[in-house]
Amino acid sequence: MAKVRIKDVIETFKLELISGEEGINRPIVTSDLSRPGLEIAGFFDYYPAERLQLLGMTEMSFFNKLSEPEQRIRMEELCRDITPGIIITRGQEVPEELMQASERESVPVMRSNMKTTRLFSHLTNFLESKLAPTTAIHGVLIDIYGVGVLITGKSGVGKSETALELVKRGHRLVADDCVEIRQEDQDTLVGNAPELIEHLLDIRGLGIINVMTLFGAGAVRSNKKISLVIHLELWEKNKQYDRVGLDEETMKIIDTDVTTLTVPVRPGRNLAVIIEVAAMNFRLKRMGVNAAEQFSNRLNNAISQGAHEDY
């Protein structure tokens, strides 16, 4: 199923549909846009027909200087069977040649009153967001002190209960049980909840609770950049867990590596406090304060001084 169709762009940007109405369900397959200036001048060797085309003041001014046969040929060349649509900006008059060509090929022609560069920027951001690579992960996403923390672990380990305690402590729930994640940039992952379970928490013994209804609008948010993954697992007696924190593990989500901490779960451990502190410590590390490195340096200095005194 196509993620974005021309009709979505028309609705989002309040565009005026001029012609080619039969093609409003055409899919948009790339976030790249095109301003076909060279093409209107007659050079179609590298015409990116699969892109959404924007015709601004510059393109239309040149087009109006062409002869009528040239105008007709250029517009017919612009309207291909894979062209999703053509947008005329600044509220300019749409050429009759373009309308005729668009009707023949069912290429939607739209008009906007926005300036070309501004519409170009807004359209690019919109399409990059909608066409970004996506995945879904079983877990809970919480905004803790501005850090997007994705809590993962096997079913029944206590993810939702920990999330409830974190919400009570003033943090904000983004998603529970299923987190939809999209990669908006090379190293930017944004998570949100599926519409069906937005603002809901599933607590065993209580059932489904609505966090926004219980704790207010300040206890939830619609999406959040994921900066840290905390994996909860049942305590294994013979497993060696990190006691210092010098080694940083990562988890690959789509094409991005995210810092990951493994927290063992057993009775008596306050997971909410541990995760809260992990988020604060993560922020400190990004600010250049690394407690584990400071301790390691002190330890090395003490060992060096002790060895020097022995001599």
Numbered residues of the known binding site for ATP: 153-160
Residues belonging to the active site: 138, 159, 177, 243
Binding residues for Mg(2+): 160
Q: How far is CA 53 from CA 17, 120, 194, 271, in A?
A: 14, 10, 32, 52
**Residue carrying the six token digits 């948010």:** 221
Provide the H-helix boundaries in the chain.
Answer: 6-13, 37-40, 57-63, 68-78, 96-105, 116-130, 159-168, 211-215, 271-286, 291-310
Token representation of residue 111? 């008009």
Q: Is 130 exposed, middle or buried (0-12, 13-18, 19+ CB in 10 A)?
A: middle
CB 60 within 8 A of CB 40: no
Q: Which helix (H) or strand (E) holds 251?
A: strand 249-253
How crowded is residue 197: how many other Cβ atoms within 10 Å of its Cβ? Answer: 14
Residue 5 C-alpha from the chain's centroid: 19
Token representation of residue 208? 């489904």
Binding residues: 153-160
One-letter amino acid of 10: I
User: Torsions phi, psi of 279, nearest 5?
Assistant: -65, -45
